Chains A and B, each alone.
Chain A
Amino acid sequence: MLGDGALYGVLAEYDTPGELIEAARKVRDAGYTEFDCFSPFPVHGIDEAMGIKRTILPLLIFGGGFAGLLGGILLQWWTNAYNWPWNIAGKPEWSIPANVPIAFETTILLSVLTAFFGMWMLNKLPQVWHPFFRLERFGRVTDDAFLLGIEARDRRFDSVATTQLLKDAGAIAVENCHLDPDPASRTMPGWITAFIVSSTAFALIPFAIAAKARNSHSSEPHIHVFPDMDFQPKYKADAASDLFPDGRANRGQLAETVARGSLNADDTFYRGIEGGKWTEGFPKQLEISEQLVRRGQIRYNIYCAPCHGYDGRGSGPVPQRVAAGGGAWDARNLVQAGGPVVKMPNGQLFNTISNGYNTMMGYAHQIPPADRWAIVLYTRALQRSQNAAVDDVPQEELGRMPMPQMQTPAAPAGAGSAAPAAPTGSAPAAPATPAPAPAAGSAAQPENK
């Protein structure tokens, strides 16, 4: 088995650790440098006998630990105090004590990594091949053998003399070690190298993809490996559910219960009803003022004008658009003199805003009651202004108005006096029994014909 290769060195075996130490000292004293001792456990005292210099490993570890400390602190400062300052209970953005634990752990972590990998690197391990492994004797070094090997490349090496030196030092056996003639045996087998290279390349693919993604733009939605954030098992309003007997996910109000702050006992204010009829006036908690009219104007222009138009004639952008599309969808003319809305009691108008009417939806969920009353008030003002006659203008203002030819409106008779002032108004047939509580949708539309 041991063949023709060049001589690598000699290997001597000793009986005890103590004898190994003695031999090592002799070899060193003889001036050899390229030699090593091998033992199943660290033999104490051999470092000094062989003249092994103290390793620089502790220094490296210190460096690693220091980098860990610095890195830990920088990481926390940069992320939490600089790149994305984070206000935690009003504490200062950067305060060392809270950052000590992690800085400590990173210090330890990097020291440990340096110690572990640094040790192997300095030892030139892992190593797949060593000439001594060719000797059977060498296989016992991890069991009970104490060996000393001298390499042939040592300046003082001499096949005969060196062997004699080792024998004189008490060796129980001395053996020559030759290199394997096949140079391939000294390198890593090709398939292992290929495996390492290809698996390393493979492991880099995700990083490459991530790097590419970070440096490019795409209008595609994210790739979500775990879609549980996109498709959440939760109910949206009015969804179906087989959890409840009625098949609805919505849970209505329990019978005979009232939610906090939703008692709404004041019938006039909340429902426009007074004494069982639509109220003609306004709830007493509202102060009728110009300010309220202005408020109503703003709310009206937001909520009603899109359909009923700024002038209330029922041709806002929505019906116009429907008309442009060839359809017909008429929002009621709110200001038509003598029309239903003009004659409508305030309470009913309020109710229409709250609960809607046929194809007009209710606005109770969007507009608070006081604002709905403000809209009622503004609608009244609108009705009056749209049907105004010259007589309605105060005398002192008249002179300051640009006067086109004034015609009497061709509208139904008595335009000037027909438009009621907001609070008073004429009282056409009031509904006998207004629907009491808004149930759902547009349930409450008492007749007003």
Chain B
Amino acid sequence: MATEPVIYEPGKAREAFRAVTRDVAWVAEAPKPHKAWLGALGVSMLMLAIGVYSIFVLLTTGIGVWGNSNTVGWAWDITNFVWWIGIGHAGTLISAVLYLTRQSWRVSINRAAEAMTIFAVMCAGLFPLLHTGRPWFAWWMLPHPNDMDMWPQFRSPLMWDVFAVSTYMTTSILFWYMGLVPDLATFRDRCAARGEKLKAIIYGALSLGWRGSARNWHRYERAYLILAGLATPLVFSVHSVVSFDFATSQLPGWHTTIFPPYFVAGAIFSGFAMVLTLLLPLRHLFNLKHIIKEEHIEAMCKILLATGMMVGLAYATEFFIAWYSGNLYEKFAFVNRAFGPFWWAYFAMVSCNVLIPQAFWFKMVRRNVVLIFILCIFVNIGMWFERFVIIATSLARSFLPATWSYFTPTIYDIGLFIGTLGLFGTLFLLFFRYVPVIAMSEVKGAMPEAHAGGPSKGGHH
């Protein structure tokens, strides 16, 4: 590339790199945690405790403590599962898809987004696990030789789910950890320099002896690129498989071919909203405004606008197909969805997901951090309702009017959901305090200073 080599005064480029290290590392190095951080952690742990209690009651009594019934056999559990998984997808998207498409602004947020993925998938996995009723037998889902001589049934989308979600979890963790290693090495060296021996040993073990060797970086970058290339189809496959849970059934309202792309778009939509919900306050609290810049936030708002409209298109398509199919049950399912007993959920969904994000058309909105935060909360709510609407309304009014019923959650449904929010919050806050929250090495590599002092003849960049 013919970029003019930037000429720096001696030491100036290094000054810029040092600044990045310092600004990121201080979050973890501050001797006392921020008051707001402590407060948030307290609230999260309280919520987590509610969740733990709900799980305790659930395990000792049985899933009858939930509001699920014979008619509405999937309810909040699966709603929350799909919701959390969807949230997780934005992390992979930011770290993998934006990497492949060379969107260098991603480096400011990818670490946090990947952490969000992992924690969200953990929360998601909890729901189907508990919904089995006997989670301690979950290993029966893995193919293993047993004394009943039985194998899992690989033609079931629920089995596909097991493979897709666990592959996704593994990949996310490895990808995240690999990205962390050079930054953990930075922490190791800083702790060693300050004489904090124990921390240096812990970070040292975690950073595997990384020493920034060019020969290592060479393989590292290859692996990173390939992992990004693998994670991209994976993330699409995971939510497609999740949508198969519904699409392969024969229930009107579930049985549609539009589900995979529709679910994936929704996943990206909700995930980006969650990234913003998390990062806007933290960026403010920890003074990271010059690293997570306004342009980055604006770019994410545009993605929200685009995916929000994709989701809106899917809603419209569903109605069109219901009418166009001429199928009585299909038509009924959708009229019921909008005007049946769950009409309020449907309208919450449409207004939060389609109408409210239209505000992102205006630059004024995309630059107003407070407003973005509020809008993102709405999107989070709207996407939760989308899953609820698909699952509960379709089940509550299926083929046989004799089986129709209504779903009302119990306090244990609500408690578990609050608990996962608490788990997520707790993990995220701990991550923010003890792990490099921003991919320092990647930020440095994306800075103009990274090309400083290049050969005057040009030719490299």
Task: Spell out A's residues near B (CB within 8 Å).
Answer: 15-19, 21-22, 24, 36-48, 50, 52, 55, 57-58, 61, 75-76, 79-80, 83-84, 86, 88, 91, 98-99, 101-102, 104-106, 108-109, 111-113, 115-116, 118-120, 122-123, 125-130, 132-133, 136, 138-145, 172, 214, 225-226, 228
Contact = CB atoms under 8 A, between A and B. Distances in A.
Interface string B3-29: 001001011011101100100000000
Q: Which of B18, B171, B217, B220 has the most CB of A within 10 A?
A: B217
Given A44-B450, A112-B171, A143-B189, 4 more contacts: A57-B219, A115-B223, A120-B208, A143-B190
A24 B149 CA distance: 62
B450 A41 contact: yes
Pairs A-B, 6 closest by C-beta atoms: A16-B453, A18-B453, A79-B151, A126-B208, A18-B454, A45-B460
Interface in B181-239: 182, 185-186, 188-190, 192-193, 205, 208-223, 226-227, 230-231, 233-234, 237
Interface string B276-288: 0000000000000
Interface majority SS (helix, strand, loop, mixed), chain A: helix
Contacts of B103: none
Contacts of A116: 174, 178, 223, 227
B98 interface: no
A118 B159 contact: no
Contact of B160 (A86, A102, A127): A102
A97 to B, nearest CB: 9
B445 A41 contact: yes
A144 B223 contact: no
Given A15-B10, A86-B153, A101 B208 contact: no
A98 B159 CA distance: 11
Contacts of A45: 454, 460-461
B192 A36 contact: no
Interface stretch (B38-46, B162-170, B317-325, B383-391): B162-170
Contacts of A22: 455
A45 B167 CA distance: 34
A225 B139 CA distance: 14
Nearest to A91: B155
Contacts, number: 234
A108 B134 CA distance: 29
B428 interface: no
Contact of B17 (A52, A120, A143, A225): A143
Nearest to A53: B218
Nearest to A118: B223
Contact of B209 (A48, A58, A104, A125): A125
Contacts of B409: none
10 contacts: A24-B214, A76-B154, A80-B155, A84-B151, A98-B154, A102-B159, A102-B160, A105-B164, A111-B230, A144-B18
A141 B441 CA distance: 11
B220 A16 contact: no
Contacts of B214: 24, 36-39, 42-43, 46-47, 50, 52
B211 A132 contact: yes
B208 A127 contact: yes
A18 B18 contact: no
Interface string B130-143: 00001011000001
